[in-house]
Structure 1
Amino acid sequence: MAIPKEDDATPVHPIPSSVIIMNESTPLISHDQYLASGPLHTDTRFHLSSCITLSSDEEIKEKEISGLSLILLSSLLLTGVYVFVKSLSTTFPSAEIVFARSLTQLPLGLLGCLIFKVNPLGKKGVRKWIFFRAVASAVALSLLFYSLSKLPLIDATVIFFLGPIFKVMIASIILNESFSVLDGFYSICCFLGLVWISKPSFLFNQITFIRFDEQEEEYQKSFAIACALAASLMSAMAYITVKKVGQGTHVMVHVVYFGLVASLLNLPILVLQLQEFVVPKYDWHELGSLLMTGVLAFLGQYFLNQGLKIAPVGPVTLLRTSDVIFAFIFGVAFFKEIPEFYTVVGSLLVVGMTTAMSIHRWHRQELRTAAIKRRRSKDKLARHQQAQQQQHQAQHQQQAQQEHQAY
């Protein structure tokens, strides 16, 4: 499986984010006339096959498969981080786990910057946005790790999966992006799924006959659900900053900023004893597991970044569901967490609606991109024809002058 080099000029496919990468150097050949005539994406109907279709070119297809494999491997590694977090949470507070992960990632990020010859501070014009992205990501991770310590693995993962819904909502408010009626429908369905997963006692006590022996336990569950929701919201805020940061910032710069900010954010929690610090034993189970949360997260983030550069957007959207699938498998295998009927239904609803929204918005973006390309191709073709016409007129005038002089 080939990992793309950092100095590759242009990815095969644009990174599926709010930033659209377009090739402006298309030569004026017959392909422009094809675009100008308008057959590309003139059929506005959505076809599911477009989400799973790979390139017909064997070389590009091989790169796409490599990209999808990297994304799948990244999903496996990051879910493995959640398993370590949940296992460690019986001994260590969530803030200490985040602190250990960030302290592990920080030197790895600095080493990566040294290897790739990248300034760890990033470009001057976007440093404040990189910092803001790191703060949002660090807060999101801290909240997510707390929820993982209190909730079943599948519950916390699916609630965190609501990030795309929040991203669309925030983008419509801050960036004035469109929010259609269909987006609203998907959002409502997702929050209905959230209700089924969280099972609030005032709605489900009579139906499921689930009762907490102590009110404190119910409060902790509700607070953990709120933390998972807040983590999803903060991850969406971090994603929105891609508009400001752009695609030019190296992934190792983000790792360095995140490691530093997350460390500084969680250190006061431990120093002020808001969560009690536990000295880890020098063995694999404790110290080794704490280190592995950082190593696996570092590798997962790197593979994800590399995979997104060459994987086709449609299959990537569908492959995102692997996070939930791995969470379900690991939850059952390692923690004997058998999800209830309502949890399964709610999870399917959330995953299905967020995936449908992502595919719907990707399809709309494809139509807009194709329309822009057709319009630019028409303009370029018109300029080319005008230049040819002027050239013909100049040649005709020159020929007429030569004939007149000869006469």
Structure 2
Amino acid sequence: MAIFERSRLTVPALPSYNSIRQSVTITGNEQRKGLGLAALSAIAFAAMALLVRILADSGFTPLQIMAWRGGVQAVCSLGACAALKVNPFKVHMGWEKFKWVAVRAVFGVIGHLLYYTALAKLSMGVATVLFFTNPIFTAILAHWMLDETFTKDQRWLMLIALFGIGLVVVPLSPLTLLGIGISKWSICALLGAVSVALAYVSIRIAGPRVHPLVHVVYFSLVAGVGSALLAWIQGESWHMPNNTAAEWTAVLGIGICAFLAQYLMGAGLLLANAGPVVTMRNSNIVMSFILDAVIYHTRPSASSAIGAIIITVCLFKMVQLL
């Protein structure tokens, strides 16, 4: 135990990050604004998830979906930068900040690709439950790296909310997760959760002087170029949208929704602590469930309805604790 504590004290980077964190006082009003932006981000993510499902049914691979998303999102984010006169290629405070912008982009893309890989091999419910453990990893990393508050009550509420998520995405059988063997695809989903958590915390480390659009631009570039390159290396046959308005709308819409979701998420993380913001963002699971019921006429089970209520109550209580 002493060895572990001594090794933590010898890490040179952590004190500077903690001092940056302590120099910025976040008010309760800012916290609530941040959570509101995270809620809007959740709506955009739910719409994006619906479009991903539509494109997957049309024959697009995960890498190709990510590449299309990155390309369209890059156009949107660069256009927004031009309109707001934000230079995404000049990050204030030099390399110390830019390296965390790069970390956010790379690990964000890796996390989602790992999630897509798990989705291709596991049932959607299992892969989603494993991937959406990322609020726990986010809160832990933010507490360790930024000294953010992570109280006992918040920990319990997060765990209960995750149980509610399990009820929603794995109706009637959340406890069956305990009987699943730890396959490499399950590990992919969990590693994706950790990767995305690090990406979220990186936004906080980069700080408020890095405009949220800068994060979106670099994520988009890495997603578009990196995913297209990986698809080419793997020898995938590139799938182009059919000459129909619906498919082109889905391709363009996924990038637009992703742009809005990431911009709002980044802005929210600058106003509120990472753990509660990411938990609020995960309410998109409930929204996706509602969209699935309305569009695909999937009748909700009793356990799914209970899970939605649990998540809503936990989010409300977390706001009260701020």
TM-score, length of structure 2 as denominator length = 0.69
Say which of 42, 66, 69 aligns to 1:98. 66
Offset of residue 101 of structure 1: 0.5
Offset of residue 127 of structure 1: 0.8
Partner of 1:283: 244
Radius of gyration: which is bigger?
1
Partner of 1:109: 77
Q: Give the alignment of 1:119-134 within 5 angstroms.
A: 119-121=87-89, 122-123=91-92, 124=94, 125-134=96-105
Q: Distance in 1 between matches of 2:145 and 2:24?
A: 21
The letter of the residue matching 1:233 is V
Offset of residue 331 of structure 1: 1.3
Mean Cα displacement is larger for which, 103-112 or 71-80?
71-80
**Contact 1:77-1:299 at 8 Å conserved across structures:** yes
Instruction: Please state which structure has a larger fraction of its residues in helix.
Output: 2
Q: Give the alignment of 1:2-401 within 5 angstroms.
A: 21-22=24-25, 68=36, 73-90=40-57, 91-121=59-89, 122-123=91-92, 124=94, 125-146=96-117, 160-177=131-148, 179-186=150-157, 188-189=159-160, 204=176, 227-273=188-234, 276-303=237-264, 320=281, 323-345=284-306, 349=310, 352-353=313-314, 356=317, 359-360=320-321, 362=322
Q: Distance in 1 between matches of 2:294 and 2:123?
A: 12
Q: Distance in 2 between matches of 1:110 and 1:191?
A: 35
**Contact 1:162-1:354 at 8 Å conserved across structures:** no
Offset of residue 330 of structure 1: 0.6
**Contact 1:152-1:331 at 8 Å conserved across structures:** no
Aligned residues: 292
**Contact 1:19-1:242 at 8 Å conserved across structures:** no
- In structure 2, relative to structure 1, the CA distance for the partners of 1:165 and 1:324 (3 Å cut) is same
**Contact 1:81-1:297 at 8 Å conserved across structures:** yes
Partner of 2:13: none
SS in 2 for 1:239: helix
SS in 1 for 2:243: coil
The letter of the residue matching 2:199 is A
**Contact 1:98-1:263 at 8 Å conserved across structures:** yes
**Contact 1:79-1:327 at 8 Å conserved across structures:** yes
- In structure 2, relative to structure 1, the CA distance for the partners of 1:198 and 1:329 (3 Å cut) is closer
SS in 2 for 1:280: coil
The letter of the residue matching 2:82 is L
Deviations 1:300-357 (A, max 9, x none): 434555678899x9x9899657523321211112234445455555565566556645
**Aligned-pair Cα RMSD in Å:** 4.6
The letter of the residue matching 1:135 is V
Q: Distance in 2 between matches of 1:332 and 1:325?
A: 11
Mean Cα displacement is larger for which, 331-340 or 180-189?
180-189
SS in 2 for 1:241: helix
SS in 1 for 2:85: coil
Q: Distance in 1 between matches of 2:118 and 2:300?
A: 17
Offset of residue 158 of structure 1: 6.1
Offset of residue 276 of structure 1: 4.9
Q: Distance in 1 between matches of 2:163 and 2:306?
A: 10
Q: Distance in 1 between matches of 2:266 and 2:133?
A: 21
- In structure 2, relative to structure 1, the CA distance for the partners of 1:294 and 1:150 (3 Å cut) is farther
The letter of the residue matching 2:54 is S
The letter of the residue matching 1:132 is V
Q: Distance in 2 between matches of 1:145 and 1:102?
A: 15
**Contact 1:76-1:326 at 8 Å conserved across structures:** yes
Offset of residue 264 of structure 1: 3.3
The letter of the residue matching 2:76 is L
Q: Distance in 2 between matches of 1:345 and 1:309?
A: 32
**Contact 2:204-2:269 at 8 Å conserved across structures:** no
Deviations 1:286-308 (A, max 9, x none): 33311211122223434555678
- In structure 2, relative to structure 1, the CA distance for the partners of 1:128 and 1:75 (3 Å cut) is same
The letter of the residue matching 1:22 is T
SS in 2 for 1:282: coil
Offset of residue 102 of structure 1: 0.2
Q: Distance in 2 between matches of 1:201 and 1:222?
A: 19
Unaligned runs of 5+ in 2: 1-20
User: Percent of aligned pairs with the same residue?
Assistant: 27
The letter of the residue matching 1:234 is S
The letter of the residue matching 1:75 is A
